A = this chain, B = another copy of it.
Amino acid sequence: MPSADNHTIIFQPSGLSAQAERGAILSDAAIAAGVPISLPCGGQGRCGRCKVVITKGQVERRSEGKISATELEQGYALACQTRVLSDLEVFVPPIEEVLIRKLPTEKKAEKAYELPVACEWASHPTLRKIHLQIEPPSLLDNTTDFERLSRELARQHDIRDLTVDLPTLRRLAKALRGADWDITATLEMSTWTNPDGPPRLLDVAPGDQTQTLYGIAVDIGTTSNVVYLVDMVSGKVVDTASAYNMQISCGEDVISRIIYAKKPGGLEHLQRLVVQTLNGLIDELAQRAKIATSDIHKMIVAGNTTMIHLFLGLDPEAIRLEPYIPTVTHPSPARAYELGMHINPDATVDCLPGVGAYVGGDITAGVLSSKLFATDKLSLFIDVGTNGEIVLGNSDWLISCACSAGPAFEGAGVRSGMRATMGAIEEVWISAKTAEPTYSVIGDAPPEGICGSGMISLLAEMFISGVMDKAGKLNRTLDTPRIRVGDHGPEYVVAWASETRKKTEDIVITEADISNLIRAKAAIYAGFSVLTRSVGIELADVEQVLIGGAFGKYIDVEKAIQIGLLPDMPWDRFHYLGNTSALGAYAALLCSDMRAAVVDIANKMTYLELSADNTFMDQFTSALFLPHTDTASFPAVMRLLQSVGQA
């Protein structure tokens, strides 16, 4: 018979139970019951991984960190921060599996992505398929093939002034006769440069093929390329595929690519490599969808300004050198055959417009798909990719800048850095008592290095646990073998060689690495500061922070705030949006209003060149501390530091 101070706790869905005294910590009871609970932060209440739902009984929550107000209402609690006050029934959610982030080919699953705003794309589509039965020519009606087709479109569908380019014209005679004059014509009704037409004939196929119509939305990232195959009849994404940009072999960041492009034949080589990458993805998608690549009749591309220059074969040299001038930011639509794309040769390849050398069409696409362009809320959009681009504004105005954060968070320029693939440490927890780390690795494999999100996590943990001070110096007075002076100066050992895959070298972070990372985060934060100050507002006034980009998907906001990479504000103001660039391209592919909106966004957006701003250097210098020189801007972080005795 249980005493008044002895409570029974039943854990669901396993049904396992434990006895616990009043005031006991719930996570200890779970461990006693044999219920697997994730405690990577060692029970400090900082990681939020031990979240459970109290379905019956009473508890005392020592900390409500990592739990939103909604979750609180639903009974959520952190097991490590919860005291038992009565008999309990506790639901333990399944432990989240570690994300395998080696850019797998996503499985075929039709998705209707939401368009950023309501758009009547189906009522005035940019592409149309029309089934036509045409009277064959005779001696008495000997109009040419093209005129005959045009005449029929005018008669039956009131479509006039049809144009055609050479590739389709070259196939026309055979296509009409091969189909016995019963054909489906694919027409491009408009492009953004010709919103009112004239319509252009893209293809002639036999019989009625009006049920299917395909386009692709493409994100050309410096590191990864992504292709969405879109069914232009239903508006759904039929399938997606992604791969590393094959240009990586010529340089990991845009600057090294631009330098590579200067070599004889270098630009042409880079152009071919990205086309090869995309064609590989397109072939894969077409095969899975059982369509011909020539059935893809439109392509919208989002990418940063350098990637677009390389894709179009434009000389990028002037982008690299002050005053950083692209050849063009609003390129006119090109044709697939001009670029060597494996889609219908006459298909329009339309690159979304950018704003400047370092704010490209990937960002305008992001502003579209994140709905920033249509919101009343003062919003901050950040795309954390190989560069860090920031946009501040709302539906009325937009200002942007690019922070040359450098590739530190991409794993380059850091001793143990690597890309976010199998074997990368992606999350770290450090005990404040022992300075011992716990980490998780992508693919649950032995570690080989540390990726961007791992770096942020590591930096935050070293700082909060006192392993490192606010200037990024390691605390060499701590009694731990993990802090030592190596060949490259002071360093912290994250994983011993014996734990690693190769077993040859410890995985370390040096003070020099830390300095690089702090400079990178400082550049981004200084970007926020300069951008907000340039329009006379405070960072705290920002109502939402929209996080896009491949890397952005995996950032832990709490950790990013702790190191002062992101501003310190309530977590519910942050929104992860995934690949905002590809999603913007998808919206622009489907809907000409959305495509026009991207032009508005690009035209409306001011570009602030940080290197020309005389407050940037001050802001940057102030941000070279953890979390920041201006601690008042980081109240939550300061509270945490106080709670762990570091401030």
Contacts and interface: CB of A to CB of B under 8 A. Distances in A.
Contact of A142 (B142, B148, B334, B607): B607
A315 B147 CA distance: 16
A164 interface: yes
A331 B172 CA distance: 13
Contacts of A607: 142
A15 interface: no
Contacts of A139: 322-324, 609, 611-612
Interface in A330-372: 330-332, 334, 338, 356-357
B609 A318 contact: no
11 contacts: A142-B357, A144-B326, A146-B327, A146-B328, A147-B328, A147-B329, A164-B328, A166-B338, A169-B327, A170-B313, A173-B325
Interface string A418-446: 00000000000000000000000000000
Given A137-B325, A142-B323, A169-B314, 14 more contacts: A139-B611, A142-B324, A142-B356, A142-B357, A142-B607, A144-B328, A145-B328, A147-B330, A164-B328, A166-B312, A166-B313, A170-B314, A172-B315, A173-B314
B317 A163 contact: no
Contacts of A142: 323-325, 356-357, 607, 609
Nearest to A172: B327
A140 interface: yes
Contacts of A171: 315
A108 interface: no
A101 interface: no
A318 B177 contact: yes
B312 A140 contact: no
A329 B334 CA distance: 26
Nearest to A164: B332
A138 interface: yes
Nearest to A326: B144
A259 to B, nearest CB: 15
Interface in A120-140: 137-140
Contact of A317 (B138, B143, B173, B609): B173
A127 B174 CA distance: 37
Contacts of A338: 166
Contacts of A334: 166
A165 B329 contact: no
A352 to B, nearest CB: 15
Given A138-B323, A142-B325, A169 B331 contact: yes
Contacts of A193: 163
B144 A327 contact: yes
Contacts of A170: 312-315
A289 B147 CA distance: 41
A144 B325 contact: yes
Contacts of A177: 318
Interface in A578-601: none
A327 B137 CA distance: 12
Nearest to A609: B139
Nearest to A329: B144
A222 to B, nearest CB: 20
Interface in A234-265: none
Given A322-B139, A325-B137, A611-B139, A312 B169 contact: yes
A318 B139 CA distance: 12
